[in-house]
Structure formats: C-alpha cells, structure tokens
C-alpha cells in the first residue's frame, strides 16, 4: 500500500484516544505505537472493516473525511431518494469543495431536516461538526470536539454499506475502504469496485 500521506498522526494511539474499537478481537491486531497505516492495513486484512473505517475517518483531514462520506452517501442514493436527502448530499459536497460557514449552516439545516436517518444526513452532520458552533444562532458558541466529525463520517459509511445491499455489506465496506485509502494516499477517492 502506498503511504497514507494525508494522515498527520504519527501513531495509531493518537487516533485511538477518540473512539473505541467495535470488535474486541481488533484490539489484538492494532499496533498503537506505530504509524496508523499499519493498524489500518491490519484491520482491513483481518476483516475488521468498521474499525478500519473509524481509524481512517479519524486520521483523514476534515475535508477529505467528509468527501469520503459523500462518496458513500452518493452510492447509497437511489431514484427514490427524497428531495431533502438529495439536497443534504449536494450541500455536503459543496461544503467539501468550499468549506464556508454558509455552506456548513446549510448542511446543518439539512441534517436536521433529514433527521439523522440516512447516509446523506450523516454526511451533512459530519460537515456541520467540522467547524463553527454546535449551539443555535444567538447562543454562546460551543465548538464541536475536534474528533466529532469523524464519528459522523464512520456512521455515514457504515449506514451506506448496510443500505446499499445488506447481504453484500462486506463488499461495500471493501469499496468504501478502497476509496478512503485512496484519499489518504492523496487521491480523489473515485475508486470503482474493490
């Protein structure tokens, strides 16, 4: 695997402080005191896809991580996707291209409107939690915890994988992980198939 140049953390331990691994057995294969890439590779090889997604989401810069959520949410959309979810994804893609406060607030509005039930809603939530304040306008500003966006990204990707085809969820995880790894390598994440 090419170096994951976008991940700035020097060790997996830096990222593991922000979340818990889903699978107890995953604890035995991560190597906290080495570069995150080693643990990501080992988690993927071991089939601990959700944990690999979490580690990668925490390691990527915010924009790349949110763009990764957009890719997964886009894959989960169908012709039957309602207008609010289509708009939530479009707003999030816009934020990922140009992360302004106005774009973030549009994501916040649409994430609330879509009620956190879809991949697009969680992608919009991830953008919302990257910057700004978590409180309503007019109240004292409360910035989101630095890692919170990554929780939404990981949730978005897991939900997208389950929504697309629950019977082939492993294939969906592999595709999304290939996209995330491509982003971490400095690519655009536009990976077809796994």
**Contact yes or no for 76/164 (Cβ under 8 A):** yes
What is the Cα 82 distance to its own chain's centre?
A: 22
pLDDT digits (tens, 9 = 90+) for 131-187: 999 998 889 999 999 999 999 999 999 999 999 999 999 999 999 999 999 999 999
Q: Is residue 175 packed enough to be buried (19+ CB in 10 Å), middle (13-18) or exposed (0-12)? A: buried
Give pTM, 2 decimals. 0.96
Identify the three-state secondary structure at position 130: coil
């Amino acid at each position: 695997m090419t170096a994951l140049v976008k991940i700035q953390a020097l060790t997996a331990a830096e990222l593991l402080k922000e979340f818990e691994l889903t699978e107890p057995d995953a604890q035995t294969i991560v190597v906290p005191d080495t570069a995150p890439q080693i643990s990501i590779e080992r988690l993927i090889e071991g089939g601990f896809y959700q944990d690999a997604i979490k580690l990668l989401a925490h390691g990527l810069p915010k924009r790349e991580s949110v763009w990764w959520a957009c890719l997964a949410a886009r894959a989960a959309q169908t012709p039957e996707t309602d207008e609010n979810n289509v708009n939530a994804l479009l707003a999030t893609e816009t934020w990922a291209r140009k992360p302004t406060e106005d774009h973030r607030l549009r994501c916040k509005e649409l994430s609330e409107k879509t009620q956190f039930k879809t991949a697009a809603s969680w992608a919009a939530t991830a953008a919302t939690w990257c910057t700004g304040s978590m409180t309503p306008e007019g109240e004292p500003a409360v910035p989101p915890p630095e890692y919170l966006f990554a929780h939404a990204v990981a949730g978005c990707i897991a939900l997208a994988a389950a929504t697309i085809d629950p019977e082939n969820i492993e294939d969906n995880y592999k595709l999304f992980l290939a996209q995330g790894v491509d982003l971490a390598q400095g690519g655009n994440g536009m990976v077809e198939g796994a």
